[in-house]
Structure 1
Amino acid sequence: MKAAIIEEVGKPLVIDDISIAKPGPHEVLIRTSACGLCHSDLHFIDGAYPHPVPAVPGHEAAGVVEQVGSEVRTVKPGDHVVTCLSAFCGHCQFCVTGRMALCVSGETRRAKGEAPRLTRGDQTVNQMLNLSAFAEQMLIHEHACVAIDKDMPLDRAAVIGCAVTTGAGAIFNACKLVPGETVAVIGCGGVGLAAVNAAKIAGAGRIIAADPMPEKRELAKVLGATDVVDALADDAAGQIVDMTSGGVDHAIEAVGRQASADLAVKILKRGGTATILGMMPLDCKVGLGAMDLLGGKKLQGAIMGMNRFPVDLPRLVDFYMRGMLDLDTIIAERISLGEINDGFEKMRGGHSARSVIMFEQ
């Protein structure tokens, strides 16, 4: 099968043929239909986050189940599925306390000594984030995918797998937004736009979108933002504090930069919460001052929106099917696997909401 491979950190991805193994007892073989380009992939491609190479990135995907292992009970051949990088074991302390997104059990991967899932000749090709979705097929643990309504378009379904699960999950799960509360979303890429849309669905009283790109601020308005601010303006924090008479209940950082995380903290009202979603540089530190703490302000991370994806993803699909969740606006373009490097160059320039690779079926 064809796949996009990180051969060398900092270099363009290489399209090459690789082999994929047969499903083990708890594994699922999926024919990939669509996969979104996510900034998290770019962190690994550019070397900001270390990972062994060669490796196939890609994690925001949807497809059709082709084969299942002998012990698989959650999906069957022919099912349409969305994948999710927060694969879970189901019985560790995080899973049994409802925090499945924090599961790091090795049970969802093949153990050392077992044949690798991906190979090229005699060489192991590393699987990234349990998925490696920039490929015509995926071989994953059954707890890394969930079946969805077959009427759901698979290109829209793909972006639910990361951007929407993260952005909407932050609103619904991590923030537990109460109708009428104020929200500021900093960074209006795929994740940020999903958070804006989810805040509208949840009944936020005011939704402020902050981004340096005018076109992204306009997209945020389409998705439910009541106000927009240039995130790089010298007085961005002051503008938001003034328009909300003291700050927001929830500030969501959705880009992964020190300056945007600092902005999220600055615009909180007393008792407000800053939620960091972006993959920050590894040496980044975000904090609250003494007066912030005395004012009851809170700071939290929310990996993948603290999702419970077997429950959350079908609900998000239902939101789209009922016309509540606007995935069409989030998708900027549809491209082929061969155009993947051009897609990431556009992402580096900050000019695209979400590019989605469409695979030939």
Structure 2
Amino acid sequence: MKAAVLFEAKQPLSIEEVTIAKPAAHEVLIRTVAVGVCRSDLHFVDGAYPHAMPTIPGHEAAGVVEAVGEEVRCVKVGDHVVTCLSAYCGQCEYCVTGRMSLCIDAAVRRPKGAPPRLMLGDVPVAQMLNLSAYAELMLVHEHACVAIDRDMPLDRAALLGCAVTTGAGAVFNTTDVTPGETVCVVGCGGIGLAAVNAAKIAGAGRIIALDPVPEKRAMAEKLGATHSFDSAAETVADEVVALTRGGVHHAIEAVGRPQSAATAVKVLRRGGTATILGMMPLGEKVGLSAMDLLAGKRLQGGLMGSNRFPVDIPRLVDFYLRGLLDLDTIIADRLPLDRINEAFDELRRGETTRSVVTFG
């Protein structure tokens, strides 16, 4: 199969012929139809986060089940599926206490000594985030995918695997927005726009979007933002606090920069909560001042939208099919696999929302 292989950080990906194994017990072979180009992949490509090499990035995908191994019960051949990097074992403390997105049990990977799922000649290829989706086929644990309604277009469905699950999940799960509460979203890429749209679905009152790119702010308003401001302006936090007469109930950071996290804290009202979704540079810290603590402000992370994806993703599909969740607006471009490096260059410029690699 053709796949985009990363041999070295800070170098372009190379389209190579990679061998994929047959499904073992509890494994699913998926024909990839669409993959989103996510900034999380870019962190590994640019070397901000370490990973074993060679590897195949890509983690925001949808496709069709080609084959299943023994004991697979979650999906069957022919199912349309969305994959999710937060594969869950179903047995650890995190899983049985309802925090499936925190599961890191090795049971979802092949055991040591077993043949690898991916090979490049006689060299094993490290599978990224349990998926490695920039490839014509994916071989994953059955708990890394979920079947969806076949009426759902798979290029839109791919976005549910990360951006929408993370952004919408931050609203529905991590912060549990109450109707009428105010929400500020810092950063209007794919994740931030999904958070804006979800805040509208959740019945938030004022929904404020912050981004330095005017086109992204306009898109946020189309998706449900009641107000938008230039996040690069020095007075932006003061403007949000003034507009909301004391600050917002919930601030969601969807960029992954210390400055954005600081803005998320600054715009909070007393007792408000800041949720950080973006992947910060390793070594960075985000904190609350003594006065923030005295004001009852809270700061939290929100890995993958605190998802229970076997339940959450079909619900998000339903939202789309009923016209509540707007995924069409979020997609900026569709391109073939051999243009993956162009897509990453566009992502580095920060002017686009979401590109999707499609396999025709």
TM-score by length of 1: 0.99
Cα deviation for residue 359 of structure 1 reads: 0.5
- Corresponding residue for residue 52 of structure 1: 52
What do residues 187-223 of structure 1 show as CA deviations (whole Å, max 9, x unaligned)?
0000000000000000000000000111100110110
- Corresponding residue for residue 23 of structure 1: 23
Distance 1:107 1:187 in 2: 35
Distance 2:218 2:348 in 1: 20
| Structure 1 position 308 matched with structure 2 position 308 | yes
Distance 2:111 2:20 in 1: 16
Q: CA RMSD in A?
A: 0.5
Distance 1:7 1:207 in 2: 42
The share of aligned pairs that are identical, in percent, is: 68
Cα deviation for residue 290 of structure 1 reads: 1.2
What do residues 118-152 of structure 1 show as CA deviations (whole Å, max 9, x unaligned)?
00111001100000000000000000000000010
Distance 2:334 2:165 in 1: 20
- Corresponding residue for residue 320 of structure 2: 320
Cα deviation for residue 83 of structure 1 reads: 0.2
Cα deviation for residue 241 of structure 1 reads: 0.6
Distance 2:178 2:351 in 1: 32
Distance 2:131 2:155 in 1: 17
Structure 1 outlier segments of 4+, above 2 Å: none
Matches within 5 A, 1:260-271: 260-271=260-271
Cα deviation for residue 225 of structure 1 reads: 0.4
Distance 2:86 2:279 in 1: 15
Matches within 5 A, 1:135-284: 135-284=135-284
Distance 1:120 1:5 in 2: 9
Letter matched to residue 359 of structure 1:
F
Distance 2:14 2:352 in 1: 22
Distance 1:22 1:353 in 2: 35
What do residues 226-274 of structure 1 show as CA deviations (whole Å, max 9, x unaligned)?
0001111010111111101010000000010010001001110000000
Cα deviation for residue 293 of structure 1 reads: 1.0
Gaps of 5+ in 1: none
Q: Secondary structure at the match of 1:64?
A: strand
- Corresponding residue for residue 82 of structure 1: 82
What do residues 71-97 of structure 1 show as CA deviations (whole Å, max 9, x unaligned)?
100000000000000000001000000
Distance 2:74 2:27 in 1: 11
Cα deviation for residue 170 of structure 1 reads: 0.1
Gaps of 5+ in 2: none
Cα deviation for residue 313 of structure 1 reads: 0.1
Letter matched to residue 226 of structure 1:
T
Q: Secondary structure at the match of 2:30?
A: strand
Distance 2:82 2:203 in 1: 27
Letter matched to residue 271 of structure 2:
G
- Matched residue pairs, number? 360
What do residues 163-202 of structure 1 show as CA deviations (whole Å, max 9, x unaligned)?
0000000000000000000000000000000000000000
- Corresponding residue for residue 106 of structure 1: 106
Distance 1:340 1:214 in 2: 26
Q: Secondary structure at the match of 2:232?
A: coil
Q: Secondary structure at the match of 1:129?
A: helix
What do residues 272-319 of structure 1 show as CA deviations (whole Å, max 9, x unaligned)?
000000000111100011111111110000100000000000000000
- Corresponding residue for residue 349 of structure 2: 349
Q: Secondary structure at the match of 1:150?
A: coil
Letter matched to residue 35 of structure 1:
V
Distance 1:230 1:351 in 2: 14
Q: Secondary structure at the match of 1:281?
A: coil
Distance 2:70 2:340 in 1: 35
Distance 2:134 2:121 in 1: 19
What do residues 333-353 of structure 1 show as CA deviations (whole Å, max 9, x unaligned)?
100001111011011001110
- Corresponding residue for residue 34 of structure 2: 34
- Corresponding residue for residue 93 of structure 2: 93
TM-score by length of 2: 1.00
Q: Secondary structure at the match of 1:110?
A: coil
Distance 1:192 1:85 in 2: 19
Letter matched to residue 21 of structure 2:
A
